A and B are shown apart, each in its own frame.
With several copies, the nearest count.
Chain A
Amino acid sequence: MIDKTVHSVAEALDGIADGAVVLLGGFGAVGQANALVEGLIAQGARDLTIVANNAGAGKIGLARLLAAGRVRRVVCSFPRGGAGASVFEELYKAGKVELEIVPQGTLAERLRAAGAGIPAFYTPTGVGTVIAEGRETREIGGRTYLLEYALPGDAALIEAWQADRWGNLTYRASGRNFNPVMATAARLTIVQTTHLVELGVLAPEAIVTPGIFVDRVVRVATPADAQA
């Protein structure tokens, strides 16, 4: 019997190595797999590259991982937090973390490309800006485009609304965001969910991430607990 569920966050995170590229779903506070992200502190992996839309806000999730000194580099579109300087901004100012800024749509497309076996693509985004500096361009049909490469991860930490033992996933409202894209882009896709359901409960037309993209599923008590 296929059963991708595991019994603890520690088991879910087993094998993520020092230096790994880790993709974190979520946008704002919604859809962040914070139980898994914070689990990385106990798990112990160091020197991580984190790919996420934001560079962490408040004192939870990625902000805690950053504060624990586990992150060498952040690839994101919008590192600024809310009010006041974030943990990331302080580390960045102190030269303790590297930053690669990627336009949000290019970030999403590079992740999608990694999951889809597309090694590189052309995009109009960023032409004529600092993003284009040192980058290959190409004219197609009279318009200039940048060459962008796929961005694969060693692991992806995903938050799903519902999951079953095959790893099929659904998401709630704007909790979808980067999660289904990143789920396709990593060699090891790890999911936290509050709703573990029996196989067959999720309608085949309503499954957003088919289990083929998912390696492990761990149930967390509630999203609130997950973020405690």
Chain B
Amino acid sequence: MSGGLSRAEMAAWLARDIPEGWYVNLGIGLPTIVADHVPAGREVVFHSENGVLGIGPAPAPEQVDPWLINAGKQPVTLLPGGSYFHHADSFAMIRGGHLDLCVLGAFQVADNGDIANWTTSLSDTAPAIGGAMDLAIGARRLWVLMEHTTRQGLPRIVRRCSYPLTAPGVVRRIYTDLAVIDVTAEGLRVRDLAPGIDFATVQARTDATLLPVSR
């Protein structure tokens, strides 16, 4: 969309808001690159649901360990202090509320915090949930990172999700190429705008009603 942030800029926008010491799970796709944008020197511990805590930067091609992948099945590295555990323990961390933050991509987010991110149709040939439903309800905070609209220009932030839900009422904040939006009891409130983007532009590309930035 015209004037919005690049994907790397979106990831960096979100990464700046992660405090030191948080335990964070990054969903498959766009959220994964958030790890590359954490400000230098800030220790954030990344979790992957396949049993890894303390994920470091992507390895150089010649340093790939085929035994070490993340939930997106990409090769990763482990930082000093990292650890491995099995799937039941990994989801105990998730469902038990031990993650400070989970960042997921989404097809749609509704103004009540509903998220739809696993399938656009129940008649999908092979509908795949993976860890999305556990992550959506388990982490202390769920932030969504996604393009503000679809490639066809349709809003992803809606009054009611038309796609099957991943979880109801769980999204706390949305980062897009246009804005950062908090899900509050009063509704969706714009928290920040991308450079050169004004409130009216964001509202025009949003199905749900937005509240302006409160200063």
Are chains A and B touching in the complex at the 8 Å CB cutoff?
yes
Residues of B with C-beta under 8 A to A200? 80-81
Does B47 sit at the interface, judged by CB under 8 A?
A: yes
In-complex Cβ contact of B69 among A30, A208, A212 (8 A): A30
B126 with A204: CB separation less than 8 A: no
Residues of B with C-beta under 8 A to A123? 95
B98 with A213: CB separation less than 8 A: yes
Residues of A with C-beta under 8 A to B182? none
B57-83 contact mask (Cβ, 8 Å, vs A): 1 or 0: 000000001111110010000101111
Does B111 sit at the interface, judged by CB under 8 A?
A: no
A129 with B165: CB separation less than 8 A: yes
Does B3 sit at the interface, judged by CB under 8 A?
A: no
A116 with B168: CB separation less than 8 A: no
B125 with A92: CB separation less than 8 A: yes
Stretch of A10-18, A42-50, A64-72, A177-185 at the chain-chain interface = A177-185
A156-194 contact mask (Cβ, 8 Å, vs B): 1 or 0: 000000001110100111111111110010000000000
State in angstroms the CA–CA spacing of A88 and B58 once bound together: 30
Does B164 sit at the interface, judged by CB under 8 A?
A: yes
Q: Which residue of A lies closest to B99 (CB)?
A: A212
**Size class of the contact patch on chain A:** 35 or more
* Total interface residues in chain B, CB < 8 Å: 59
Residues of B with C-beta under 8 A to A204? 54, 78, 82-84
State in angstroms the CA–CA spacing of A179 and B89 once bound together: 12
State in angstroms the CA–CA spacing of A85 and B125 once bound together: 10
Residues of B with C-beta under 8 A to A88? 126
Residues in A99-138 with C-beta less than 8 Å from chain B: 99, 101-109, 111-112, 114-118, 123-131
Residues of B with C-beta under 8 A to A129? 133, 164-168
Residues of B with C-beta under 8 A to A205? 84
Residues of A with C-beta under 8 A to B70? 174
B73 with A29: CB separation less than 8 A: yes
B128 with A199: CB separation less than 8 A: no
Residues of B with C-beta under 8 A to A80? 126, 128
Q: Which residue of A lies closest to B122 (CB)?
A: A130
In-complex Cβ contact of B87 among A102, A108, A126, A211 (8 A): A108
B68 with A177: CB separation less than 8 A: no
Does A5 sit at the interface, judged by CB under 8 A?
A: no
A176 with B166: CB separation less than 8 A: no
A177 with B92: CB separation less than 8 A: no
A-B contact pairs, 28 of them (CB 8 A): A27-B69, A30-B67, A77-B131, A78-B128, A78-B130, A86-B126, A101-B128, A101-B129, A103-B130, A105-B94, A105-B134, A116-B88, A117-B138, A125-B138, A131-B133, A171-B84, A174-B48, A174-B52, A176-B84, A202-B83, A204-B78, A204-B83, A210-B83, A210-B93, A211-B83, A212-B47, A212-B93, A212-B98
